[in-house]
Amino acid sequence: MNLNVEIKRYNPEEDEEPHWESYEVPADPLDSALSLLLHVKWHEDGTLSFRKSCAHGICGSDAMQINGENKLACSVLVQDIADGEGDTVTFAPLPSAPVIKDLVIDQSRFFEKYRDVKPWLITDGPAPEREREQSPEEHAMIEEASKCIMCGACTHACPSTWADPDYLGPAAMLKAYRYTFDTRDDGAEERLDVVDSPDGLWKCYTIFNCNEACPKDIDITRWLSALKRRAATSQASTNA
Amino acid sequence: MAVDTQDRPTATASESSTTARQESRFQRYRVRTGMFAWLMHRLTGVGLVVYLIIHIWGLTSLTDPETFNALIAKYHSPIFKVGEFALLVAVAYHAMNGLRIVLIDFLGWSPKQKRLFVTLGAVTAIIILVGGWPSIYSLGEWIFGPGSMPSLFL
């Protein structure tokens, strides 16, 4: 079948404002959405820019807004975004992110937020001789949160991020959860100081756009709620 | 413990000028259950604040019995029956969705958020129908004439 593919184009050297362009693209229902973009780039217009690396949902490069919601282009099939012949599929860069060109966004702010929550193991005392042990039950608490591939679909789907570009956002705070609830980690206090702030946890209004956007189906809101409870109770205990 | 928070560059003027529209706080985005619930929560919340200001302003006339009676007489007009009903809708929705958020945040019911929305939505509808019946009744009487409405519980 043939699809009408609409892409939000923006070239900072030529355009004042982003604009939409349409392409007719032949597609199979079992193609990925990414293959539509590849077809445009290879056969229609080589100047189209977008990020992709592994194309198998692991690297997290090709998160973008497809048909009005954030998805990973390689992990969504044509049959899930188009009903049939002549249907329109739209591609736009992640909402509210600074655009470098076409679908390529400037990720620096996103990764600064990631660094802010100290996404590494913080420990007191010397390293043990052998590995730091963790039971399967202890690991189960952070297993889902560990699946994050940092694609940015969630953070840029969040109305709190749109309203406040400095809001830490779901991706960074999910990482804070992942380490705060890791039984081998001793840095909870430091990390809670970062997320328990005006630009942190309390701007999460349980809107669930992050959950809907996550290509790994992580229940982000659930873990952020757990982090909220931890932040609230630890604050109560220090104030007492 | 000392906190070493890295300074994060805030949204700079050059960034926002190149793609101003892209970075707006208003984005076109597919509305699913969670965002719909939040949007309605905001709208009813703002509406209730506006109502509260008008309501308290109305109370300032309490110092003078005559102006107070005149004000209360105005409240019997049909437009205030509509307002009364809208107020109930806003309060019922805001309260029930507030309960939903409490259950999600305090009890970790995030995986059940959509079922919660449907269930509490049904409860909200019942509250609105039962509680709003007097308003609907008097509005019906006003539109279709006296005696045209079934006097269910009234």
Contact A211 B110 (CB under 8 A): yes
- Per CB-CB distance under 8 Å, the chain B contacts of A17 are 21
What is the count of structural domains for chain A? 2
> A128 and A96: one domain?
no
Q: Which residue among A105, A131, A152 closes a domain? A: A105
Element at A71 (helix H, strand E)? strand A69-72
> A93 and A181: one domain?
no
Q: Is A205 helix (H, G, I), strand (E, B) or coil?
A: coil
Q: What is the CATH number of the domain that holds A211?
A: 1.10.1060.10
Asked, for residue B60, whether it belongs to a domain, the answer is no
Query: Taking CB atoms and an 8 Å cut-off, how many pairs form between chains A and B?
Result: 119
Interval A64-80: pLDDT, tens: 999 999 999 999 999 99
Q: Which residue among A105, A136, A165 closes a domain? A: A105
> A48 and A139: one domain?
no
> A87 and A145: one domain?
no
Asked, for residue B71, whether it belongs to a domain, the answer is no
> A71 and A126: one domain?
no
ipTM: 0.91
Asked, for residue B131, whether it belongs to a domain, the answer is yes
pLDDT given at position B71: 83
Q: Which residues contact A5 (CB under 8 A, 6 or more apart)?
A: A22, A23, A24, A25, A36, A37, A40, A88, A89, A90, A91
Per-residue H/E/C for A74-119: HHCEHHHHCCCCCCEEEEECCCCCCEEECCEECCHHHHHHHHHCCC
> A113 and A127: one domain?
yes
> A86 and A140: one domain?
no
Instruction: State the nearest Cα–Cα gap between B8 and chain A, in angstroms.
Output: 6
Kindly list the strands in the beta sheet with A19-26, ordered across the sheet, starting from the edge strand earlier in the chain.
A19-26, A2-9, A88-92, A63-66, A69-72
> A39 and A98: one domain?
yes
Q: Which residue range(s) make up the domain with B140?
A: 40-45+77-144
How do A2-9 and A88-92 pair as beta strands? parallel
Interval A202-236: pLDDT, tens: 999 999 999 999 999 999 999 999 999 999 998 65
Residue of A69, A96, A112 with shortest CB distance to B22? A96
Which of A82, A227, A222 is closest to B111 using CA atoms?
A222
Q: Which residue among A105, A136, A162 closes a domain? A: A105
Interval A27-78: pLDDT, tens: 999 999 999 999 999 999 999 999 999 999 999 999 999 999 999 999 999 9
What is the count of structural domains for chain B? 1
- Per CB-CB distance under 8 Å, the chain A contacts of B28 are 68, 95
pLDDT given at position B114: 96
How do A2-9 and A19-26 pair as beta strands? antiparallel
> A113 and A225: one domain?
yes
Asked, for residue B51, whether it belongs to a domain, the answer is no
> A80 and A117: one domain?
no
Q: Which residue range(s) make up the domain with A190?
A: 108-239
Asked, for residue B83, whether it belongs to a domain, the answer is yes
Q: Hey, how many other C-beta atoms are within 10 angstroms of the C-beta on A190?
A: 18
Q: What is the CATH number of the domain that holds A25?
A: 3.10.20.30
> A91 and A143: one domain?
no
Asked, for residue B10, whether it belongs to a domain, the answer is no
> A216 and A113: one domain?
yes
Asked, for residue B100, whether it belongs to a domain, the answer is yes
Element at B76 (helix H, strand E)? none
Q: Which residues of chain B have pLDDT under 50?
A: 1-2, 13-17
Among A154, A181, A206, A212, the strongest candidate for a mutation testing the B interface, having the largest count of B CBs within 10 A, is A206
